[in-house]
Amino acid sequence: MTAPAISIEPTETITKALRLMLSHKISGLPVVTPNGQLVGILTEGDLMRRSELHTEEKTSWLQGLLRSSGKQAGEYVHTHGRKVGEIMSTEPITIFPEASLRDAVDMMIRHRVKRLPVVRNEQLMGVVSRTDMLRALLPVLSDDPETATDETIRDAILREYQAQDKWAGGNFISVDVKNGIVELNGVVTDERLRIAARVVAENVPGVVSVIDNMTFVEPFSSTEIPPPLFP
C-alpha cells in the first residue's frame, strides 16, 4: 500500500481536491477528519456530473414524479456542492492492513473500484491502488534470464500442462528443449489452446525462447492451419 495516503478533510473545497488529484495523478482521495478517521472517499466518478460542465443527469418528467423531493435535493447537492463532504461517497469500500493481495484484487474487481483505503479501527493507514498492484507485478515479471537445465525446463512445462488438465490434458503437446529453447509440437483444435500452451512455456524460468510448431486443425472441416511464422 501507499502510506501515508494523500487525503483531504470533508470541509475542504472540491477545488483543492481537484488540484490534489491532478498534481499527484490519482483518481481518488480518502476523506478524513482532523483526527484521521475515514468518513468517505472522493473519486473522479463523484465529479463527472457537475452543473459547471452541464453534465447533470437528464431525467424524464415521469422519473421526476417517481423521485422523492429528498432524493432530488440530494442529487442537486451532488452536482452543485462546493465542499468535499457534500459530494463524497460516504460508504467507501475498505480493507484491513493484514489482508492479502488476492483479497485486495478480489475486492477491486467485485466492487469496480480503483483504490481501497486501508483502515484499522476507523483510522486511515494508507491506500492500496491498482498502481500498487502493478508495482508488485513488475519484479515478478522480470525479463532477466535465469539459469536452468533443459531437463528442468521441460519437466516444469509438463507439470504445468498436467496441472491445467481442464484444457491441456491428453498429452496433445510434445515438448523438446535445447539450450533453453523450447520447441512445441502437436495438433490443437482451438487456436486458444496454442496460445495457452505457448504462454506456459514462456513463464518457466530459464526459457530463452519458444518455437511454436503446433498445427491447428479446424474440427468441423478438418482444415489444417500451420503454425504462425512470427509467434
Spans of all domains in the chain:
14-139, 150-225
Q: What's residue 93's pLDDT?
A: 92
The DSSP code sequence of 97-144 is: TT--HHHHHHHHHHHT-SEEEEEETTEEEEEEEHHHHHHHHHHHT---
Q: What is the pLDDT of residue 30?
A: 94
Q: How far apart are CA 99 and CA 127, in angstroms?
A: 13
Structure confidence at residue 223 (pLDDT): 64
Instruction: Give the residue from 193, 179, 192, 116 showing the smallest Cα distance to 149.
Output: 179
Is residue 117 classed exposed, middle or buried when 0-12, 13-18 and 19+ CB atoms within 10 A define those classes? buried
The Cα–Cα gap between 28 and 16 comes to 13
Please indicate, yes or no, whether the overall pTM of this predicted structure exceeds 0.75: no
Per-residue pLDDT at 41: 94
* CATH fold of the domain at 150-225: Histidine-containing Protein; Chain: A; (3.30.1340)
How big is the chain, counted in residues? Answer: 231
Residue for grid cell 498534481:
23
pLDDT value for 31 = 95
The pLDDT value recorded for residue 226 is 62
Task: Show the low-confidence residues of the chain (pLDDT under 50).
Answer: 230
Whole-number pLDDT of residue 70: 79
Task: Return the ∠ at Cα 92 (arms to 86 and 97), rounded to 5°.
Answer: 140
What pLDDT score was predicted for residue 94? 94
- Measured CA to CA, the distance from residue 68 to residue 208 in angstroms comes to 65
**Alpha carbon distance 217, 222 (integer Å):** 6
Class of domain 14-139: alpha beta
The per-residue pLDDT for range 67-107, each reduced to its tens digit, is 777 777 877 887 888 899 999 988 899 999 999 989 999 99
